[in-house]
Structure 1
Amino acid sequence: MRRDHWKLVNDSMDPETQFTEIYRNVVMYEFPWDMNQALSFALFRTYAVPGIGRLLDQTGEFTGAVQKRYDDTAILLEQPFRLGFDHPQGRAAVRRINQMHKAYDIPDHEFRYVLSTFVVVPKRWLDDYGKRPLTPTELRASVNYYRTLGRHMNIPDIPETYDDFARLMDDYEAEHFAYDEGARRVADATLALMLTFHPRPAARGVEVFSRALMDPPLREAFRYAAPHPLVERASRGALKARGLALRAFPARTRAQTVQDLKWIRSYPDGYDVERMGTFPAGCPVPHPVDAVADVGESGSSIPPAAT
Structure 2
Amino acid sequence: MGRRFAIRRRIEELDPRTDFAAIYRLMSAHEFPWDMTQALSFALFRTYAVPSIGGLLARTGEFTERTQKRYDDTVLLLDAVLEHGTDSDAGRTAIRRMNQMHRAHPISNDDLRYVLATFVVLPIRWIDAYGWRRTTETERVASAEYYRHLGRQMGIRDVPGTWQAFARLLDAYEREHFGADGGARDVAEATLALLATFPPNDHLPPAVVRRISLAVMDAPLLDAFGFPRPHPTLRALVRAALRTRGRVVRLLPPRRQPYFARQLPQIRSYPHGYDVARLGTFPSGRAVPPPRGSVTNPASRSPERTG
- Normalised by the length of structure 1, the TM-score is 0.90
CA RMSD of aligned residues (A): 1.1
Give the aligned partner of residue 268 of structure 1.
271
**Residue equivalent to 2:112:** 111
Please tell me whether the aligned partners of residues 78 and 258 of structure 1 are also in contact (alpha carbons under 8 angstroms): yes
1:20 is aligned with what amino acid? A
1:1-307 → structure 2 map (5 Å cutoff): 2-197=3-198, 198-281=201-284
Q: Give the distance between the partners of 1:205 and 1:25, measured in 2 at CA.
A: 33
CA–CA distance in structure 2, aligned partners of residues 164 and 257 of structure 1: 28
Distance in 2 (alpha carbons) for counterparts of 1:53 and 1:203: 23
User: May I ask how many residue pairs the two structures share in their alignment?
Assistant: 282
Give 1 or 2 for the bigger CA radius of gyration.
1
Letter in 1 for 2:75: A
**In structure 1, how many angstroms separate the alpha carbons of the residues matched to 2:255 and 2:207?**
32
For the 8 Å contact 2:58–2:183, the answer to whether it is kept is yes
Q: CA deviation at 1:204?
A: 2.2
Q: Which amino acid in the other structure matches residue 38 of structure 1? A: A
- Alpha-carbon deviation of 1:81? 1.6
- Corresponding residue SS for 1:243: helix
1:46 Cα deviation from its structure 2 partner: 0.2
Unaligned runs of 5+ in 1: 283-307
Kindly, what percent of the aligned residue pairs are identical?
53
In structure 1, what residue type is equivalent to 2:156? I
Runs of 4+ in 1 over 6 A off after TM superposition: none
Per-residue Cα deviation, 1:183-203 (whole angstroms, up to 9, x for no partner):
000000000000011225442
Q: Which range moved further: 132-141 or 66-75?
A: 132-141
What is the rounded CA distance, in whole Å, between the counterparts of 2:25 and 2:206 in structure 1?
32
In the TM superposition, residue 274 of structure 1 has moved relative to its aligned partner by: 0.5
Q: CA deviation at 1:281?
A: 2.7
Gaps of 5+ in 2: 286-307
Deviation per CA, 1:276-304, whole angstroms, max 9, x where unpaired?
1010039xxxxxxxxxxxxxxxxxxxxxx
Q: Is 2:128–2:134's contact at 8 Å kept on the other side of the alignment?
A: yes
Aligned 8 A contact 1:21 1:81 in 2: no
